[in-house]
Amino acid sequence: LISSGINAEYGLVVLLVALAVTYCKTPLPMEKKVYIRREHSLIKPYSSMSMDTPMWDYSGSTIVSNNEIRLTPDHQSKAGRVWNTIPLMSRNWEILMEFKVHGQGRTLYGDGFALWYMAEKQLMSGPVFGAKNNFKGLGIFFDTYSNHNGEHSHGHPYISAVVHNGTQTYDHDSDGTHNELAGCQSSFRGQKHDTFVSIKYINNILTVHSDVRGKSKWTKCFEVKNVVLPVGYHLGLSASTGDLADNHDVKMLKLYEVDLVPGQTFNVDEALKLVPSADGEPDRPHVHPKKKEKGSSSVLWTIFYIFITIVIVLSAIGIGIVVWQKKQEDRRRKRFF
């Protein structure tokens, strides 16, 4: 009896540990029901997946191995992409992604990667983390290098969100500062432990959480309300390197369909016709590089510097003339003696 009781307690402990581990890999707790959609998910092992899989298309430098999908290796001037071939028709959804950004660089590395919800699959390379510009849809950017030469009110690595309707241009040189809906600084790069991100789109509210500290604890990055996204767009991932490089690896991506919230309606035909837009205000101000204006004080200082320079030059010439005359006079005296 004692032995059977110990076995029962041991079995209960094992079950609780297993449930705890499973909980760490599931979406954020929510009251609504969630259902995993495997046709929109990337779940390892990937050994059975080929480059012509019916659910995902690959292009560029993307390499598929057993435990990860490497969008770019740690080499310069690389770009890779992976796109879901099946349009996403869910009104509410959550994405849980495990990823790893790492490389040999200790202080200089780049450029980053992006998770997309876009109208069209972008298998050709482009300037926005390996995808084309003037996109239509949502981009979640994981930026590891600051391209902005002006002032910044945040550091890198940095997670941000951008919604475009196909007419706007993403300014990569300013790190998308003027297109950004919201963002947060996040130390996801170069971690030895697992790093995760949760992206929820429920009832026109976009929320991003991250778990990058290895403590199995979600940290809220940002929340933006009044984000309008149609159904029928494609999920995708892309990454790029330039003069600097990094490995950009996707370990796992799971998409969960979430039930409608009370009072929310869903008409498929209307949702297909929606134009991507967002009214949310950014969490930080858009900072433009300041241009130095020439005022009266700067003009006076310039005149002063010119005057001082002229005085120094004339003084040097005068001293030179005096020294030369002195030497000439000394030579004349030596001739008389």
Is the Cα dihedral 216, 217, 221, 227 positive or negative?
A: positive
Query: Counting Cβ atoms within 10 Å, is residue 278 exposed (0-12), middle (13-18) or buried (19+)?
Result: buried
The pLDDT of residue 337 is 53
The pLDDT of residue 175 is 59
CA–CA gap between residue 256 and residue 262 (Å, rounded): 18
pLDDT tens figures, 163-182: 999 988 877 666 566 678 99
Mean pLDDT by 10 residues, the chain (337 residues): 49 46 50 84 76 79 93 96 96 97 89 95 90 94 77 78 90 68 92 95 97 93 96 97 95 96 95 90 46 48 82 88 79 61
Contact 80, 60 (CB under 8 A): yes
How wide is the angle at C-alpha 181 spanned by C-alphas 176 and 186, nearest 5°? 75
The pLDDT of residue 23 is 41
Cβ atoms within 10 Å, residue 16? 10
Instruction: Strand 56-60: give its sheet, edge to edge.
Output: 56-60, 79-84, 234-240, 112-118, 136-143, 158-165, 182-185
Inter-CA distances, 170 with 122, 164, 165, 187, 289, Å? 15, 9, 12, 23, 17
Contact 74, 111 (CB under 8 A): no
The pLDDT of residue 50 is 54
Phi, psi values for residue 319, rounded to 5°: -60, -40
Q: Is the pTM of this model over 0.75?
A: no
Q: Tell me the β-bridge partners of 256.
A: 36, 94
The pLDDT of residue 324 is 80
